[in-house]
Amino acid sequence: MKKETKKTSKNKKRKVKKAKLASFIFCVYSLCFLIFCLCFYGYRLVKYYRIYNPKAENGEKIDLLSSYIEKNNTVVYENDGLYKVNSAYLFKGENVDNYLTFAGLTWRILKINNDGTIDMVLNEQINDLKWNSEITTYIKSDIHKYLNDKFLSMLNTDYLVKTTICTDTVEDINKITCNKTNKDSYVKLISLNDYVNSQVNGKTFINDGDSLWTSDASSTKPWYVSESGISSDVPEETYRIKPVVTLNSTVALKSGTGKENDPFIIEEDKKELRIGSYVKLGEDTWIIYEKNKNDMKMISANLYNNGETKKIYNNNSNIYNTEVSTSLGYFLNHTYYESLSYKDLLLDAKWYTGAYDTSYEDITSSFVEAKVGTYTVADLKFNHDLDTYYMLTPKESGIVYTYGEKLSYHRVSRVNAIRPAISIKSTYKIKSGNGTASSPYELEV
């Protein structure tokens, strides 16, 4: 009996020890969990407080761009200005202070969405292309691919969220719906909804006289907008394209009031060579339109010799031939090249000469290696004040695309202006300037 009592007593002690150990382990785990929660949620609290309450380096509070616009614009119900529609804010009319600088380009704010993100459209068009080679959904179109390839490469996506694209088929412009959406892309075209909602008495800041492709299509044709209104055309036709992107809700305002001469600034002022920057070499000014790790292509900011001297292509199928004296390729790589005081800076580059058939990518099917070239159909276009100059892209034998008020094509026997392009190293340091047309970068070469 005594042995059983002792055994029972030992068992009880073991159970007590196990219970105490379990309790101790539970307390340790609970304490660790509480510390983890405090650290994790404390970090998130500080992180999001800083995001939504940004401060400058000197400690001064900076406004979120969306908050600044809402606080410093009176909501109107007629004429040009900022309108409140449900929980979103929309700029409407022709004369509104919604200018913004991003990626070295000027944009116009379309609207502040109810989640604080901001849709904006580029102020100037960046090319003139086919919507597609056949009717399809916008998401599957060549122009959608172009925007999220060629154009997106020049943007810092840290400032962006993927944009909302309405994918409803629009058969009647009086019945524009947005029941189905796609959110897989950073860049889109202007939509019919955005265009219509930006108008006051038929006037809008979006259209500056050009005909613009939209992201909407019927079952047979895509829609485009112009000063004359909304129309549709076959997808193989070419019209201007203006990209639209969406800024994330945490973008802070660095400076600016949104006026044309004082646009909103959201990026740090960094002097860097990037697409769209103006660069001065010798007495000539160039615009960067393609930038890689070690090299970059630049297009002349002006027509050659102010457009007074014009040359023609070689009148045969091999239109850009640097060895045939009657060819534009020969002129640019001999006479023009030798006239440059900085010719030793120029690199040999591939200048694509493929035809523009079903896609912008078709132009890479053939190329010429040379020091001097010019734009192709696929290249991003800058300085739209220049009119009707030849490009490298053929339409068919003896006929070449030209760029100006509209993408066109002419026989190579016709005399048109030329706009030279060159390639140099992208690793040069900036000596002076701010990269604008009025103050181009000068390089340490």
One domain, residues 359 and 220: no
381 with 401: CB under 8 angstroms?
Answer: no
Please check whether residues 216 and 86 belong to one and the same domain. Answer: yes
Structural domain contains residue 439: yes
Separation CA 132–CA 137 (nearest Å): 10
Quote the pLDDT of residue 10.
Answer: 60
Q: For the chain, what percent of residues have pLDDT higher than 90?
A: 72
CA atoms of 281 and 207, how far apart (whole Å): 34
Report the pLDDT value the prediction gives residue 45, as an integer from 0 to 100. Answer: 45
81 and 220: one domain?
yes
Q: Which stretch of 58-72, 131-145, 386-400 has the lowest confidence by average pLDDT?
A: 58-72
Give which of 250, 201, 238 is closest to 52, Cα–Cα.
250
pLDDT digits 0-9 by tens, 316-331: 555 788 888 888 899 9
The Cα–Cα gap between 75 and 89 comes to 9
Out of 265, 290, 306, a domain closes at 265
Q: Are 253 and 265 in contact (CB under 8 A)?
A: yes
Looking at residue 70, its pLDDT comes to: 95
Same domain as 206, residue 330: no
Residue closest to 393 by CA, chosen among 214, 211, 238: 238
Structure token pair of residue 150: 């060629």
Question: Is residue 327 located within the same domain as residue 236?
Answer: no
Q: Reply yes or no on whether the pLDDT at 309 is more than 70.
A: no
Mean pLDDT is lowest, of 103-112, 176-185, 204-213, 245-254, for 204-213
Domain boundary among 214, 241, 265: 265
Q: In the prediction, which pLDDT does 9 show?
A: 63
What are the tens digits of pLDDT across the range 167-212?
A: 999 999 999 999 999 999 999 999 999 999 999 999 999 987 889 9
- Last-in-domain residue among 216, 244, 265: 265
Residues 253, 283 within the same domain: no
Q: Does residue 100 share a domain with residue 169?
A: yes
Mean pLDDT, all residues of the chain: 88
In a domain, 124, yes or no: yes
In sequence order, what are the beta bridge partners of 350? 369
Based on the domain organization, do 256 and 284 belong to the same domain? no
How far is Cα 30 from Cα 28, in angstroms, rounded to an integer?
Answer: 5
If asked whether residues 341 and 439 sit together in one domain, one would say yes
Provide mean pLDDT across the span 76-82.
Answer: 96
| Amino acid at site 410 | H
User: 305 pLDDT band (50/70/90 cuts)?
Assistant: confident
The whole model's pTM is what?
A: 0.84
CA distances 29 to 24, 33, 118, 196, Å, are 9, 6, 45, 60
State which residues form the domain around 288.
278-444
Say if 406 falls within a structural domain. Answer: yes
Rounded to an integer, the average pLDDT of 269-292 is 94
Among the residue ranges 118-132, 146-160, 305-319, 342-356, the one predicted with the least confidence is 305-319
Assigned domain for 126 exists? yes
The pLDDT value given to residue 77: 94
Domain count, the chain: 2
Same domain, 257 and 375: no
DSSP-based three-state secondary structure for 233: coil
